[in-house]
Amino acid sequence: MNARRPALDIAIAGGGMVGAACALALARRGFAVALLEAREPRPWQGNEPEDLRVIALAPSSARLLDDLGVWRSIEAVRVSPYRRMCVWDAASGAELGFDAAHEGRAQLGWIVENNLIACTLWNALEGAGVRRVCPARVTTFAQRDDRITLDLDNGEVLSASLLVIADGAGSALREQAGIGVRGRDYAQRAVVAHVATELAHGATAWQRFTHEGPIALLPLSDGRSSIVWSLPETRAREVLALDDAAFCDAAGVASDFRLGRVISTTPRASFPLHLQIAERFSAGRCVLIGDAAHAVHPLAGQGANLGLRDVAELAAVLGDARDAGRDFAASHVLERYARRRRAASTLDARTFDAIERMFAWQAPGWAMLRGAGMRAVDVLGPLKRLLSAHAEGVA
């Protein structure tokens, strides 16, 4: 007869970066955790080609990864600190600059590949006592007074006190939990690639707002830059269909040749853009984190950072409740997490959406007003520091 598996405290559905970070954070707080993932992250063997999806990792996120014991391993592979950020408006020519040195810091953040973070977290789970169930997907679940029962597509049935839903923006489990979403489709796609340019990136994150959408050049550790180019659907398909030389020319024009000509590129990929906020972040013994809770425009590079802030908040709330001898999955405990993170995430998402709308409107008079506003912010030290602190995750 098989030995009876230990009872689960928490099951996490979705083993991407945010789900894996959550599993590790909760295991470090002493919870019995299972992580359920339909597809294991591609193994990282030390000589991997670059992942085209990168993150502008905020200091708050790096601190969380350090607390989880994985940041040094990530740094040892390849990360690219960026010390400056330059944002400019194609219509007005106005610029807004941030410099870590002016704030007494070594860097504003780090550009890191998604898969590097996800794989490093995944590899740390077993040593932390997390049960990895892969491949497996939750097909249905049933909530009881004190437990939640999960039916998996591999035929297994699990029981836990809490289900953390981290299965992405199109979450089927969020729908099963009866949680709706609000938002809008940008009718855009983000085209991503890694490119080499004539001029060095100078450890600077560059972003230009054009009439078609923003284009960002993010510094990579090998001297190249990661392009994240937001374009209307039709235009994105045209750009993806270009040969390498034509794509390099188009990217150079779109970035105003700020780093000179774009001289080579990797193959491109793209993903759709939309704004989405869950109407609630908890329901019964279920909570939402990451893209299942909120999806935002990539113009500020904050999507993954918002998810990692969910992780830090959830681990703190659940851990404090259990340390105090309370039911960590009680509705009033989960509502504490849900209230805090939904308020913060909604503010961030609406702010990014307002920025996107502000630059999308190209009326000449508005462009002049927008430029004047950017120039004013650039010379107002306290306001710039507030914006920088917010991006860092401390405001």
Sequence letter at residue 211: H
Question: Rounded to an integer, what distance in angstroms lies between the CA atom of residue 151 and that of residue 158?
Answer: 7
**For 169, what's the count of Cα atoms within 13 Å in the CB-facing half-sphere?**
17
User: Would you state the pLDDT for residue 375?
Assistant: 65
Non-local CB neighbours of 352 within 8 Å, separated by 6+ positions? 275, 296, 297, 299, 300, 302
User: Would you state the pLDDT for residue 5?
Assistant: 42
What is the token pair recorded at 98?
A: 């941030």
User: Would you state the pLDDT for residue 3?
Assistant: 37
DSSP labels for 321-343?
HHHTTS-TTSHHHHHHHHHHHHH
User: Would you state the pLDDT for residue 347?
Assistant: 86
Q: Alpha helix locations (H) across the chain?
A: 17-28, 59-67, 71-77, 114-125, 172-176, 233-241, 244-254, 303-323, 331-360, 364-379, 381-392
| Per-residue pLDDT tens listing for the chain (395 residues) | 333 344 799 999 999 999 999 999 999 999 999 999 988 766 666 555 678 889 999 999 999 999 999 999 999 988 999 999 998 888 788 888 888 888 788 999 999 999 899 999 999 998 999 999 989 999 999 998 889 999 999 999 999 999 999 999 999 999 999 999 999 999 999 999 999 999 999 999 999 999 899 999 999 999 999 999 999 999 999 999 999 999 999 999 999 999 999 999 999 999 999 999 999 999 999 999 999 999 988 875 678 999 999 999 999 999 999 999 999 999 999 999 999 999 999 988 887 787 776 666 666 666 666 656 666 655 555 445 545 555 554 44
0.95 surpassed by pTM: no
Question: Rounded to an integer, what distance in angstroms lies between the CA atom of residue 101 and that of residue 153?
Answer: 52
What is the 8-class DSSP label of residue 29? T
* First-residue to last-residue Cα distance in the chain: 55
